[in-house]
Chains A and B, each alone.
Chain A
């Protein structure tokens, strides 16, 4: 089970994480799956809808809006997903997963990540410490939703 990306795509995710710090960044990974392996063809940075607190609260309410915010939560607008996936299908690509950043937190999925994750997707998490992108990891939710399995990231030499 491996997610394949180029160094340029990894750098694109890192730049996005640094740019949006101290808030969480997020985006989509588009490409093609072959069995358990996924090859990323395109990174699509997306808006963190938590920036629009009122709309985000209607779509996916936060338990503690004062404590939870775009600083530590991300939400992708379903309309963005639908649009990007439609464009992707026209190019023969699928949504393989998503990336997001953890400002000043480790690149490890939280319980909140797990509770809101979907199976099969690759979840790339980037730790951004004091504005600097650091460790990047990748995870896939298990079928029973109890945990994530670490997914190997292969950097393609192109």
Chain B
């Protein structure tokens, strides 16, 4: 039985407009790799150019942030639910604009 990956609204356009995608995976890294193998356009929004998960991508296994589990090595069982939760962040340019 596969694992379900919930796709956040801003990324659904790259995943066939689906709210969730089911993938076979033993751990989180494998689940995301299989997800992006199916939907290649997701890759640039989830990963940096050097292949690391972007720091502003939060992954939850159920209600647990994987940072507090085993990160991308967190093992998965059948019917587990992963959620991609986009971190919302931003800010000004650091150069001071004197007013």
Contact = CB atoms under 8 A, between A and B. Distances in A.
Interface string A44-59: 0000000000000011
Interface of B: 8-11, 13, 41, 44-45, 55-56, 58, 60, 65, 67, 83, 85-94, 97, 99
A38 B52 CA distance: 32
7 contacts: A72-B92, A94-B9, A95-B9, A110-B90, A116-B88, A116-B90, A119-B10
Contacts, number: 97
Nearest to A27: B88
Contact of A118 (B45, B60, B67, B99): B45
Contacts of B89: 60, 73-76, 116
Considering residues B13, B44, B89, B91, which has the most beta carbons from chain A within 10 angstroms of its beta carbon? B91
A35 interface: no
Nearest to B91: A73
Instruction: Label chain B's interface by main secondary structure.
Output: mixed
A60 B93 contact: no
A111 B95 CA distance: 12
Contacts of B58: 59, 78
B88 A26 contact: yes
Interface residues of A, number: 43
Interface of A: 24, 26, 58-61, 64, 67-68, 72-76, 78, 81-82, 94-95, 98, 100, 102-106, 109-113, 116-121, 123, 129-130, 143-145
B87 A68 contact: no
A123 B90 contact: yes
Contacts of B93: 105, 110-112
A81 B99 contact: no
Given A60-B56, A78-B65, A119-B45, A100 B90 contact: yes
